[in-house]
């Protein structure tokens, strides 16, 4: 079973009771058809030696295994991917083992007894934190982290190992609890800027740029920052349109990596603002950059005529989204009546959860000359931006227009978002009416699959 890969990788060192190999006998029995046999054997071992550390560890493992075999994984519906950018059918949520508090306490009772006997057993110390994290026992986890730090010899990578526990909570739809754990880790390692940068990155992924900015600034004031800290600072500041700070972060990252790749971003800012950018591009090309995509972009920009068609050529080059944003801004400003620049820019803003800016772009787009296919594409992205920005009345008007679309993906998404809106308003009968419009075709789109699940629920 999949969950077995999550079992704590506790030490396989051999301690014996009466010359009997405990681990060698018990570990192979941690299977569905032999778990009861494993339980009987470990109970017998503990009768003869109740203070044997490996036996106590294995007793906890047996309880965990037995729970996993007999209890279904919990579907974390809160982690459902409503994004219009992920189209995979079947993404209802994630199956995660979430032991109840009684089970978790039963497991950790044996682990805690084991480490009270031998505090050097780092594997069991890690196991205690793992069980607390997957059981959503945030307070106990936070209180145990200092104990874990005290007993782990190798401290360099410990904050990042600890961050896995925060991720366990986030993946189980406990974002705020996960962030509490992250902040505790940051307190335990006050010189570590990288862990604070990870906190900023999590807030960016969560769509909270203000908190992302706050924590990336705190990260930059710490020591031990790696180039990822400056990459996060660059991405966050670019999304917030704090371009001088973004350029500063990218320049520092380039200095750390001994290159001048920041010059390309600097040139794009100059290009967008109508300033001399070719001098900077030539300096970038002479710098000996190793990034083939960046070299290709700089070369084509120097040769471009900057008609609206040039965007199609430039946009096909692999580049950072931050670079694309600047290109789109240039072309939207100069070709406001053209479809591609505005649609691509709005779509990219949506992807980065910059919904209020995306709304402005879609609202300003001239739509009177669009054919039905292009108009539906715009309205689909526009409605999603409105929905995510909580402009529900405006979003619903657009969703309603697409319920009769020949594009089943658009139709099913519209039925889903309209149904969710009324479900959240406790108008269940009306919600089910929308879900049933597409719920009979769950294999044709992820939204139809969501609707099918919610009708049955």
Rounded Cα–Cα distance for residues 31 and 231 (Å): 44
Give the per-residue pLDDT at 21. 78
Contact in structure between 281 and 269 (CB atoms under 8 Å): no
**pLDDT tens series, the chain, 457 aa:** 333 344 444 443 334 334 357 888 888 888 888 999 999 999 999 998 999 999 999 999 999 998 887 765 555 545 567 899 988 886 555 667 889 999 999 999 999 999 999 999 999 999 999 999 999 999 999 999 999 999 999 999 999 999 999 999 998 889 999 999 999 999 999 999 999 999 999 999 999 999 999 999 999 999 888 999 999 999 999 999 999 999 999 999 999 999 999 999 999 999 999 999 999 999 999 999 999 999 999 999 999 888 988 988 898 899 999 999 999 999 999 999 999 999 999 999 999 999 999 999 999 998 888 999 999 999 999 999 999 999 999 999 999 999 999 999 999 999 999 999 999 999 999 999 999 999 999 999 999 999 998 998 7
Rounded Cα–Cα distance for residues 445 and 410 (Å): 9
Contact in structure between 210 and 200 (CB atoms under 8 Å): no
- Alpha helix positions (H), 118-152: 122-134, 138-151
Q: Which residues contact 69 (CB under 8 A, 6 or more apart)?
A: 1, 32, 35
Give the per-residue pLDDT at 1. 39
Considering the domain 1-189 in this protein, what is its CATH number? 1.25.40.10
Contact in structure between 57 and 10 (CB atoms under 8 Å): yes
Cα 219 from chain centre: 20
Side-chain half-sphere of 438: how many Cα atoms within 13 Å? 32
Same fold, 1-189 and 197-258: yes
Domain 197-258: which CATH number of 3.30.200, 1.20.120, 1.25.40, 2.60.40: 1.25.40
Q: Which residues contact 405 (CB under 8 A, 6 or more apart)?
A: 376, 411, 414
Rounded Cα–Cα distance for residues 403 and 9 (Å): 51
Backbone phi and psi for residue 137, each to the nearest 5 degrees, phi listed first? -95, 70
Cα 427 from chain centre: 31
Look up tokens 């965007």; give the residue: 311
Can you tell me whether residue 76 is helix, strand or coil? strand
What is the gyration radius of the CA atoms in the chain, in angstroms?
27
Residue ranges per structural domain of the chain: 1-189, 197-258
Give the per-residue pLDDT at 398. 97
What is the pTM (predicted TM-score) of this model?
Answer: 0.88
């Amino acid at each position: 079973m999949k969950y077995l890969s999550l079992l704590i990788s506790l030490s396989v060192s051999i301690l014996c009771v009466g010359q009997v190999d405990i681990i060698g006998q018990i570990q192979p029995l941690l299977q569905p058809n032999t778990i009861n046999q494993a339980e009987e054997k470990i109970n017998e071992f503990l009768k003869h030696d109740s203070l044997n550390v490996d036996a106590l560890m294995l007793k906890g493992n047996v309880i965990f295994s037995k729970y996993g075999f007999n209890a279904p994984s919990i579907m974390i519906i809160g982690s459902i991917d409503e994004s219009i950018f992920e189209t995979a059918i079947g993404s209802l949520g994630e199956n995660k083992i979430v032991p109840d508090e009684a089970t978790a306490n039963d497991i950790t009772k044996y682990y805690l007894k084991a480490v009270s006997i031998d505090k050097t057993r780092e594997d069991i110390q890690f196991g205690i934190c793992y069980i607390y994290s997957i059981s959503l026992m945030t307070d106990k986890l936070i209180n145990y982290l200092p104990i874990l730090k005290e007993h782990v010899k190798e401290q360099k990578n410990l904050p990042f190992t600890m961050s896995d526990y925060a991720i366990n909570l986030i993946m189980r739809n406990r974002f705020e609890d996960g962030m509490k754990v992250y902040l505790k880790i940051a307190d335990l390692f006050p010189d570590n800027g990288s862990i604070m940068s990870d906190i900023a990155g999590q807030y960016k992924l969560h769509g909270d740029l203000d908190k992302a900015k706050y924590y990336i600034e705190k990260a930059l004031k710490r020591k031990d920052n790696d180039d990822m800290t400056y990459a996060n600072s660059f991405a966050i500041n670019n999304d917030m349109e704090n371009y001088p700070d973004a350029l500063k972060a990218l320049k520092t990252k380039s200095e750390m990596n001994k290159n001048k790749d920041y010059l390309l971003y600097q040139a794009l800012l100059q290009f967008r603002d109508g300033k001399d950018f070719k001098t900077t591009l030539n300096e970038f090309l002479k710098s000996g950059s190793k990034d083939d995509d960046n070299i290709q972009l700089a070369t084509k920009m120097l040769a471009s005529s900057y008609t609206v068609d040039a965007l199609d050529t430039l946009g096909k080059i692999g580049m950072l989204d931050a670079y694309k944003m600047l290109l789109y801004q240039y072309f939207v400003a100069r070709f406001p009546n053209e479809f591609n620049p505005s649609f691509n820019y709005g779509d990219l803003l949506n992807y980065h959860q910059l919904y209020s800016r995306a709304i402005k772009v879609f609202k300003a787009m001239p739509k009177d000359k669009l054919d039905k296919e292009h108009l539906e594409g715009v309205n689909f992205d526009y409605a999603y931006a409105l929905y995510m920005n909580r402009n529900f009345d405006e979003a619903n008007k657009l969703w309603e227009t697409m319920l009769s679309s020949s594009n089943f993906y658009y139709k099913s998404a519209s039925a889903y978002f309209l149904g969710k809106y009324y479900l959240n308003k406790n108008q269940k009968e009306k919600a089910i009416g929308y879900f049933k419009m597409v719920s009979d075709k769950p294999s044709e789109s992820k939204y139809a699959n969501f609707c099918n699940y919610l009708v049955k629920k």
